[in-house]
Amino acid sequence: MDPNSVNFVDLRQILGFLDQSSFLIASRASILSAWALNSKFCSLCGKAYSFNEAEGAFECSCNNAPNYPSISPCIITLIHDDDKILLGRSKFFPPNMYSTLAGFIEAGESAEEALIREVKEEVNVQVSDINYYSSQSWPFPAQLMLGYFCKYIEGEIALNDMELEDARWFNIKELPIIPPDTSISGQLIRSYIEDHSKL
């Protein structure tokens, strides 16, 4: 293939057009290329890293410790209350798109603790009945999203931190634009609606 004929686009822009396996390949490529770009020098002694083919890691002769790609674990969660779900939007989203809430797991936290803390911080509500759904590699820049459902307990929505520009309850029959099925967020929402409609 002629590289000059290739049209590079931002992965985020084409999320909605990729199937699951193409997304996983693109996700891995994106994470690895960012890792290679940011792994030039040893942070202990400042010498240039070399690449250990057998290990698939960068290393330095000062300690020969392998430097693998670092992945940040995050929680992503659909908060539900019967036929209502709580979604939020960041100012970077396309107009009228709302999504599930997400956040980084901090040092020393379990995923469940991070979920309860993030939900409280971002929208001021209490949740329980945390149920694992599935996980997904998310290359913006290098997260592992752990997806959960959780049940609303109490609290009025208030945007406590600056992460979201809006958050509100939506009836599952009157949803705004939601993320595509390529993303775990879209999967969580569609899966909840499907299961709920069977009740």
CA 110 to chain centre: 16
Give the integer Cα–Cα distance in Å for 179 and 172.
14
Q: Which stretch binds Zn ion (CB under 5 A): 15-23, 45-53, 119-127, 188-196?
A: 45-53
- Closest approach of Cβ 70 to Zn ion, in Å? 17
Only segment of 22-30, 41-49, 133-141, 146-154 that touches Zn ion (CB under 5 A): 41-49
Whether the Cβ atoms of residue 74 and residue 146 lie closer than 8 Å to each other: yes
Check binding of 36 to Zn ion (CB under 5 A): no
Smallest distance from Zn ion to CB 32, Å:
22
Residue 36's contacts (CB-CB under 8 Å, 6 or more residues apart) are none
Q: Between the CA of residue 145 and those of 74, 168, 193, what are the distances in Å?
A: 5, 22, 20
Count of chain residues binding Zn ion (CB under 5 A): 6
* CA–CA distance, 22 with 18 (Å, rounded to integer): 6
- HSE-up of residue 44 (Cα within 13 Å, Cβ side): 10
Q: Is 65 in the site for Zn ion (CB under 5 A)?
A: no
Rule CB under 5 A: is residue 39 a binding residue for Zn ion?
A: no
Q: Does 189 participate in binding Zn ion (rule CB under 5 A)? A: no
Smallest separation (angstroms) from Zn ion to the CB of 114: 33
CA dihedral 113, 115, 118, 123 (to 10 degrees): -130
Name which of 65 and 177 has its Cβ closer to Zn ion.
Answer: 65
Among 14, 25, 36, 62, binds Zn ion (CB under 5 A): 62
Q: Does 58 bind Zn ion (CB under 5 A)?
A: no
Which residues of this chain interact with Zn ion, rule CB under 5 A?
A: 42, 44-45, 47, 60, 62
